[in-house]
């Protein structure tokens, strides 16, 4: 599963929203409080556009760590990448592959219950 953290992709929130919209994504801008969560996965595709602050993403299967600041676009080639997030707080535009109201809960899924077709637990 390819994961990328690409800096210097946009200048501000309006540009991030425009990029997400142009890519056919459903953009949602959110402020995220300080976080250091457990490894988890999502059952949706999304691109994260960091507007303010910094977010560190750690990928469980490879041990890679990505430090992503303002202007950075974060994406995974496929859903279900097991990862965790560490941050003192940040603002981002999340470009979802579907209307955010259609997302299943909880958003952060337990790796132990990841379906086999998505790479097992």
> Is 48 part of a structural domain of the chain?
yes
- The 10 Å Cβ neighbour count of residue 90 is 22
> Is 117 part of a structural domain of the chain?
no
The confidence score (pLDDT) of residue 78 equals 77
**Residue 44, domain extent:** 3-111
pLDDT per position as a tens digit, 79-116: 789 999 999 999 999 999 999 999 999 999 999 987 76
pLDDT per position as a tens digit, 29-46: 999 999 999 999 999 999
CA pair distance 17, 51, nearest whole angstrom: 10
> Is 121 part of a structural domain of the chain?
no
The confidence score (pLDDT) of residue 80 equals 86
pLDDT higher than threshold 80 for residue 1: no
Looking at the 3D structure of the chain, how many domains does it have?
1
pLDDT per position as a tens digit, 53-86: 999 999 999 999 999 999 999 998 777 899 999 9
Task: For 85-108, give the DSSP string.
Answer: EEES-EEEEEEESS-GGG--SSSS
> Is 73 part of a structural domain of the chain?
yes
CA pair distance 108, 72, nearest whole angstrom: 22
What b/e sequence results for 48-66 when a residue is b if at least 16 CB atoms lie within 10 Å of its CB, and e otherwise?
Answer: bbbbebebbbebeeeeeeb
Q: What is the CATH classification number for the domain harbouring 15?
A: 2.60.120.10
> Is 30 part of a structural domain of the chain?
yes
> Is 90 part of a structural domain of the chain?
yes
Predicted TM-score of the model (pTM): 0.91
For 111, phi then psi, to 5°, come to -60, -25
């Amino acid at each position: 599963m390819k994961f990328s953290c690409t800096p210097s992709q946009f200048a501000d929130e309006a540009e991030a929203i425009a990029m997400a919209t142009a890519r056919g994504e459903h953009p949602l801008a959110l402020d995220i409080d300080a976080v250091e969560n457990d490894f988890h996965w999502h059952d949706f595709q999304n691109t994260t556009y960091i507007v303010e602050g910094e977010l560190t993403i750690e990928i469980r299967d490879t041990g890679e760590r990505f430090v992503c600041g303002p202007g950075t676009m974060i994406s995974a080639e496929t859903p279900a990448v097991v990862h965790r997030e560490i941050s003192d707080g940040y603002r981002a535009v999340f470009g979802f592959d579907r209307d955010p109201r259609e997302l299943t809960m909880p958003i952060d899924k337990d790796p132990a219950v990841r379906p086999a077709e998505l790479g097992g637990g």
